[in-house]
Structure 1
Amino acid sequence: MAALSQNDTQEAWLSPYMTVVDVDAAVEFYKKTFQFSVSEIKCAEDGKGIHAEMAYKNQLIMCGKEAAYGSPLKSPRTSGVESPITLCVLCDDVEAFYAMAVFQGAQSISAPDNMEWGYRMCRLQDLDHYTWCFMTPVF
């Protein structure tokens, strides 16, 4: 089989998959707070979300319920351990994005500030205690 030189499947080359306490609550949070669109939610027999696929600017972001499909993974909220990974996302206007996200319920870790690498950046925490960095280039 020949190696693909381009992403022939048109899927994202790299996509975060977060383990969350409650898929339905996480999806609602990401929709209203981070302006993600929802493309799919798979439900368990009880009708509650077990897996979700969302997008931000056509980039795939996924989440799955703790213990789903036999996974031993826990969210930072449940484990009490801060995630060593920060999810970084470009946005059009970090000031406006930050204000709306905090208004909608995101916890502020740091307000927008200029970084030495040429971005204005803020950091926010979601329901499951993942850290998100939203940034706008300022060069």
Structure 2
Amino acid sequence: MSTTTDAQHGPVPVKGGLVAYLALDGALKAADFYVRAFGAELASAIPPDEQGRTMHVHLYVNGSSLMLSDAYPEHGHPLRAPQGYTMTLMVEDIEAWWARALEAGATPLMPPTDMFWGDRYAQLRDPFGVIWAMNCQAR
């Protein structure tokens, strides 16, 4: 199993075979939102710099790792609007996940709907511009 290192706590396990790394405007605020909206758990975070930015946040979301950072344009990592991807959560109780995300402040795009492929599916946008889908497999 791979690990990342937290300066205060040492190695932190990386969960999942594919890990998304999102550069956002306010990575620590996004982490707080993901805790409230998706039940994320903070695995580690680099303390913010004097401008309030952090270079690394490691979360566990729905059994997988998600990495976040703020943009650092002075180091070749400018902020870009999220586009061309959707973060998809495979969930058991889509209505509960949906309600929690909306209560935390997500914007609904498509409510939970029975889809032609047989699953129940929904989409929303988080306050940082990232589109999240929820998929509940048919039984």
> Does TM, normalized by the shorter one, top 0.5?
yes
Matched, 1:27 2:31: yes
Native 8 Å contact 2:119 2:136 kept in 1: yes
Per the TM alignment, residue 128 of structure 1 is displaced from its structure 2 partner at its CA by 1.4
TM-score (norm 2): 0.81
Across the aligned residues of Structure 1 and Structure 2, the Cα RMSD in angstroms comes to: 2.0
Native 8 Å contact 1:16 1:62 kept in 2: yes
Write the letter of the residue equivalent to 1:63.
L
Q: 65, 70, 75: which is aligned to 2:75?
A: 70
Matched, 1:105 2:110: no
Please give the secondary structure, in 1, of the residue aligned with 2:46.
strand
Native 8 Å contact 1:21 1:75 kept in 2: no
Residues 36-115 of structure 1 aligned to structure 2 (within 5 Å): 36-46=40-50, 48=52, 49-67=54-72, 70-76=75-81, 83-115=83-115
Per the TM alignment, residue 66 of structure 1 is displaced from its structure 2 partner at its CA by 0.9
Cα distance, 1:68–1:137 mapped onto 2, change above 3 Å: same
TM-score (norm 1): 0.81
Per the TM alignment, residue 91 of structure 1 is displaced from its structure 2 partner at its CA by 1.3
- Distance in 1 of aligned mates of 2:127 and 2:33: 7
Per the TM alignment, residue 44 of structure 1 is displaced from its structure 2 partner at its CA by 3.8
Identify which range, 60-69 or 95-104, moves more after superposition. 60-69
- Distance in 2 of aligned mates of 1:120 and 1:69: 43
Per the TM alignment, residue 28 of structure 1 is displaced from its structure 2 partner at its CA by 0.8
- CA deviations over 1:108-136 (Å, ceiling 9, x no partner): 11100012222111101112111000111
Matched, 1:133 2:133: yes
Between the two proteins, the alignment pairs up a number of residues equal to 127
Please give the secondary structure, in 2, of the residue aligned with 1:74.
coil
Per the TM alignment, residue 107 of structure 1 is displaced from its structure 2 partner at its CA by 0.7
Native 8 Å contact 2:36 2:100 kept in 1: no
